[in-house]
Amino acid sequence: METTIKVIEPKNQWADRLLNFWRVFSKSRIGIVGLVMLMVIVLMAIFAPAIAPYDSSSSASVEIDDIYNPPNSVHWFGTDDAGQDVFSNFVFGARVSLTVGFFAAFISIIIGGVTGLVAGYFGGRWENVLMRITDIMLVIPDLPLMVVIVALTQPSLLNIIFVIGLLGWTTTARVVRSQTLAVKSRKFVLRARAVGAGNGHIISRHILPLVMPILVVQGVLVVSLAILNESALSFLGLGDPTALSWGQMLNYAFGRGAMSIGAWWALLFPGFGIVWVVLGLTLLGQGLEQVLNPRLDTHHLLPGRPAIQRGHVESRQAKGALLEVQNLSINYINEGKPAARAVEDVSFTLNKGELIGLVGESGCGKTTLMLSLLRLLPSAGQIVNGRVFFNGQDLTAISDEELNLVRWKEISIVFQGAMNALNPVRTVGDQIAEAIIKHMPAIDHDKLQVRVIELLDLVGIAADHKEQYPHQYSGGMRQRAMIAMALACDPQVIIADEPTTALDVMIQAQILELLDSLRRKLGLAIIFVTHDLGVVAEICDRVLVMYGGVTAEYADVDTIYNEARHPYTQELLKAFPDLTKPKKKLSSIPGYPPRLEALPAGCRFAPRCPAAFDRCHTEQPSLSEIGEMHFASCHLIEASK
Amino acid sequence: MNRTRTLLKKLAWSIFTILFVIVLNFFLFRVLPGDPARAGVRDPRLKKEAVEMLRVRFGLDKPVINCFESLNPIKLGSCTVNPLDTQFFIYVRNLLQGELGISYHTNRPVADILAERLWNTVLLIGAGQILSIMIGVVFGVFAAWKARTAIDYSAVITSLMAWSLPTFWLAILLLFWGSNNGLPLAGKATPGSSALPLLQQWADIGIHMILPTLTYTIIYMGEYTLIMRSSLMDVLSEDYILTAKAKGLSTFQILKDHALKNAMLPLVTVIAINLGFTVAGAIQIEAVFSWPGLGLAIFEAVGRRDFPVLQGAFVLIAIAVIFANFLADLTYNYLDPRVQTE
């Protein structure tokens, strides 16, 4: 039975991996530049005898006039203090510097790799002892220690390699340990252990392949450090006198009057060689890092993309509506790939004091929609059509300064996961006060403090917690603090983005009750985002069900619960228990919402829809009014009309 | 309560590390073959009495430590000797009394030589650190804020290039540059300047500091830029930055009130860990500019194989770095509220 599983030959797998790796790496520009820079020097070192015009070891023909000659047609880089050709020495020096760099780095990588692997994998006492040793070695300044050891032993190339290698492993050990720790708890490792695989097998087959990439990046870095250290040691007078490395060339030139004679060539070129190699290695390391550990260099302060409007239809806000979203479409722009259509043609209206529920599974564009209302989308997100009217202003078109006056003062947000939404190094009271100061700069200190305490009291947090930091709060308290913060400027609209998802059921109920009572007390309009229809059943006025970025169904809460027409809404309703129908069978919808980069051609729900027919797979249904204030987008409903 | 406990733990750890350095230093100079005192003892040309005199002079007649007569671990010795009369404890006692031996070259106590040099190094590293951190932070903030723009890319490339420069080579280049611009090239003060009024003396030192400090700043600025950039990038991707933006705060307010402190905290740790590396830079800079600090002392001692000075300088630098690390830990604990109350 077991033998049939192994189909892929490991050799092919490695070749595949390597090829795949190269494909990605070749896109990293700085990585390629670094690799080329390094290869130039490596080739120069390998073919040194063919390239160098003079044999560096013979100084038989040197005459007194040959000393410190400036660069000329015979000696391209001039001559040094011994009358030797600097260019030839430079070419042969590459051999020495690279040898030291690579061999020393090899020793460091082996020691650091094994230390990190053992500490990370076996943990416990092993880890304790090894990491303590690593910490000690990390603190001890390495160059002075190298100087002492090399001075006490013979300054030979071998000694230098060993000293640099034996002292340069600490960072590698740390990096490898944390990677091993991360890999160790992955599922396939746990599974391998559960079926009784030995430590050796797990390490070599499961851990090492995932630690290797980091080890390679680290290796590149360690080589460059070793080359720098060798040059520093040589310059300080501890180089091998028989092996003329670049550092050694600089030591001779500097110590033997190149400065006072003005023989810049004897000092410039060897140093240039070091910079070239180290920079090449650094760029290569950066390139590898980008490939192996891709980091999206994006953050919330990057300028957003300006909203664009498809048609030139002059639209205006409906009378009486507080917030009106008209035909909003949002794309995520990925360079080199088709845009992901995260939200498409969504409209809804929010009146004063109303609570609207925005329902759908994760990945249906709910959060994108909410963030776009205040133009808080990540830099890849762009409003590609539609308008957001608030008090007669189109929020998609006004300037940042104007928008900053609406943000929080008129529309505020309760984010999901309040732990991360609150700044960990500022007190909760301070963060609430900040919002008030921003929008009411004239408020005096005492009034401000009174207001903060009042807000905390409103959500049931005692005043003495004001000066505490978010990590001192419990999960429910943080969420309530977040609500207090959202209320700080008496906004007209609060967007609550899954405010209860991470909390336990009791706290969930409390938060819901709190929001509902605040709405009644303060006359707030609330947009409540959730993936749980059950949660909003009691408090919502209207429900907008989203699927795959489009409106599936939009109606008042009674219609949704009693006369849902869209199969998706019906499936969602089946997924939560109803106390009035105790015998109802709970079921979940098989599958997942579509990936936004690969939307199905027809109805986005068709692949999971129990009632899908041919047309659903080819044509996208449009949103149509099927009853009074009841909208749905489904071919089934259209057909039954 | 817990805060004091972590501090005591850190303190104990620092002391343990210092002890380790002291022990390492003892064995390095006895195991490795280069020490002339011990080499002299083995010199076959010396008469027996002379060897004995040398042994007594350098304390080599005493057992290494209790139970061990010599460094040969198989050859055990008496365990009942007075521990204070063994080589190791004499070494520790001397160290505790600040006695680091006599320089082979100048015949002066090593402690005296190093004491006058220490402050020059502290001055150089201090000035260089402050400048490179300030510039690095500013560049890093700009690079992160303007991420994926020309400003960002040029800051990163410049930093990588600065990182790749061998310190002593940059020092040499700046030496050339300085010699064409009339800056003082060597030492800490113009000879005879001690007769001048204090203010002019300081100005003189300041002018002498320009080139060494500039070298130091360029070398480490790049690293701090990269660290600050990546730290700030991490912080700016956090949810609380989105909260701050939703509050209607301006970009400047968000950077100032929400991002900088959070991003600076990891920098404190990095600066501490980096101190050991920056010492390496200081040694090379002092060697090129003859700045009379510990680095120059090491450079000169290497040339003269003046081992007591090397040994003393190593111990002193190691202890200073460990101590500075401890201070950085204290600062971090003080700055980060999460540590204070956990």
Cβ within 8 Å, pair B164-A231 = no
The pLDDT tens digits of the residues spanning A586-622 come to 777 778 888 877 788 888 888 888 888 888 888 888 8
Assign A6 a pLDDT band (cuts: 50, 70, 90): very low
Residue A395's alpha-carbon distances to A370, A389, A558, B144, B302, in angstroms, are: 13, 6, 31, 28, 71
Distance CA A272, CA B173 (A): 11
Distance CA A374, CA A387 (A): 12
Question: Percentage of residues in chain A with pLDDT exceeding 70?
Answer: 93
Mutate to test the interface with B, among A28, A139, A305, A471 (most CBs of B within 10 A): A139
How many beta-carbon contacts under 8 Å exist across A and B?
232
Average per-residue pLDDT for chain A: 86
Minimal CA–CA distance to A173: which of A215, A141, A205, A202?
A215
What number of CA atoms fall less than 13 Å from residue A331's CA on the CB side?
Answer: 16
Mean pLDDT computed over A165-181? 91
Assign A4 a pLDDT band (cuts: 50, 70, 90): very low
Cβ within 8 Å, pair A408-B275 = no
Give the residue from chain A lying closest to B36, CA to CA. Answer: A152
Distance CA A68, CA A269 (A): 13
In this predicted structure, the answer to whether residue A199 has a pLDDT above a threshold of 50 is: yes
Edge-to-edge strand list for the sheet holding A381-390: A340-350, A323-332, A381-390, A393-394
Residue A554, phi then psi, degrees to nearest 5: -145, 120
Q: Give the start-to-end residue ranges of the domains of chain B.
A: 111-335
Minimal CA–CA distance to A429: which of A409, A404, A449?
A449
In this predicted structure, the answer to whether residue A42 has a pLDDT above a threshold of 50 is: yes
Average per-residue pLDDT for chain B: 85
Cβ within 8 Å, pair A139-B17 = yes
The pLDDT tens digits of the residues spanning B281-290 come to 999 999 999 9
Q: Three-class SS of residue A390?
A: strand
CA distance A272 to chain B (A): 9
CA distance B199 to chain A (A): 32
Residue in A136, A259, A267 nearest the CB of B20: A136
Token look-up 């090129």 returns: B288
Question: Percentage of residues in chain B with pLDDT exceeding 70?
Answer: 90
Residue A246's alpha-carbon distances to A38, A90, A187, A220, B164, in angstroms, are: 16, 7, 49, 19, 15
Question: Which residue spans within A189-290 are E strands per DSSP?
Answer: none
Distance CA B48, CA B56 (A): 12
Instruction: Average the pLDDT over each of A243-247, A524-528, B72-76, B268-272 and give the range with the smallest value.
Output: B72-76
Question: Percentage of residues in chain B with pLDDT exceeding 90?
Answer: 35
Cβ within 8 Å, pair B262-A438 = no
Question: What's the pLDDT at A579?
Answer: 60
DSSP at A324: E
DSSP at A224: H
Residue in A302, A408, A425 nearest the CB of B247: A408
Give the residue from chain B lying closest to A280, CA to CA. Answer: B164
Which chain A residues have a beta carbon less than 8 Å from that of B215? none
Edge-to-edge strand list for the sheet holding A630-632: A411-414, A493-497, A525-530, A355-359, A542-547, A550-556, A630-632, A624-627
Cβ within 8 Å, pair A153-B34 = yes
Cβ within 8 Å, pair A299-B233 = yes
Instruction: Choose the most confident range, by mean pLDDT, from A190-194, A504-508, A596-600.
Output: A190-194
Domains of chain A, earliest start first: 22-57+69-296 (1.10.3720.10)
**What string of H, E and C letters represents the secondary structure of B24-56?**
HHHHHHHHCCCCHHHHHHHCCCCCHHHHHHHHH
Looking at CATH, the fold of the domain delimited by B111-335 is given as: MetI-like fold (1.10.3720)
Residue A358, phi then psi, degrees to nearest 5: -110, 110
Instruction: Average the pLDDT over each of A37-41, A351-355, A559-563, B337-341 and give the range with the smallest value.
Output: B337-341
Q: B327, B26 in Cβ contact below 8 A?
A: no
Cβ within 8 Å, pair A140-B257 = no
The pLDDT tens digits of the residues spanning B5-18 come to 878 888 898 899 99
Which chain A residues have a beta carbon less than 8 Å from that of B145? 301
Which chain A residues have a beta carbon less than 8 Å from that of B250? 404
Token look-up 């850190």 returns: B10
Residues in chain B: 342
Which chain A residues have a beta carbon less than 8 Å from that of B249? 404, 434, 438
Q: Three-class SS of residue A317?
A: coil
Which chain B residues have a beta carbon less than 8 Å from that of A229? 280
Question: What's the pLDDT at A508?
Answer: 79
Cβ within 8 Å, pair B248-A406 = yes
Question: What's the pLDDT at A113?
Answer: 94
* Run of H or E residues at A363: none
Instruction: Average the pLDDT over each of A99-113, A163-177, A364-378, B2-16 and give the range with the smallest value.
Output: B2-16
Which chain B residues have a beta carbon less than 8 Å from that of A471? 338, 341-342
DSSP string, A509-541: HHHHHHHHHHHHHH--EEEEEES-HHHHTTT-S
Mean pLDDT computed over B31-54? 69
Question: What's the pLDDT at B106?
Answer: 81
Cβ within 8 Å, pair B160-A282 = yes
Q: How many degrees, rounded to 5, is the angle at CA A360 between CA A548 and CA A569? A: 95
DSSP at A83: S
The pLDDT tens digits of the residues spanning B53-79 come to 777 776 777 777 777 766 666 667 777
Tell me which of A502 and A119 has the higher pLDDT.
A119
The pLDDT tens digits of the residues spanning A402-418 come to 999 999 999 999 988 77
The pLDDT tens digits of the residues spanning A421-444 come to 999 989 999 999 999 999 999 999
Tokens of A33: 């530049």
Return the exposure string of A296-326: e unless at least 16 CB atoms fall within 10 Å of the residue's CB, then b.
Answer: ebebbbbebbebebeeeeeeebeeebbbbbb
Question: What's the pLDDT at A314?
Answer: 61
The pLDDT tens digits of the residues spanning B237-260 come to 999 999 999 999 999 999 999 999
Instruction: Average the pLDDT over each of A70-74, A303-307, A551-555 and give the range with the smallest value.
Output: A70-74
Q: Enumerate residues 6+ apart whose C-beta is below 8 A from A59.
A: A82, A83, A84
Cβ within 8 Å, pair A469-B34 = no
Tokens of A461: 């947090």
In this predicted structure, the answer to whether residue A3 has a pLDDT above a threshold of 50 is: no
Cβ within 8 Å, pair B236-A142 = no
Question: What's the pLDDT at A9?
Answer: 47
Question: What's the pLDDT at A597?
Answer: 75
Q: Enumerate residues 6+ apart whose C-beta is below 8 A from A29.
A: A287
Question: Percentage of residues in chain A with pLDDT exceeding 90?
Answer: 36
The pLDDT tens digits of the residues spanning B193-235 come to 777 888 888 888 888 999 999 999 999 999 999 999 999 999 9
What is the ipTM score, two decimals? 0.89
Torsion sign, CA atoms A8, A11, A14, A18:
negative
Which chain A residues have a beta carbon less than 8 Å from that of B175? 259
Distance CA B46, CA B54 (A): 10
Cβ within 8 Å, pair B265-A374 = no
* Run of H or E residues at A330: strand A323-332
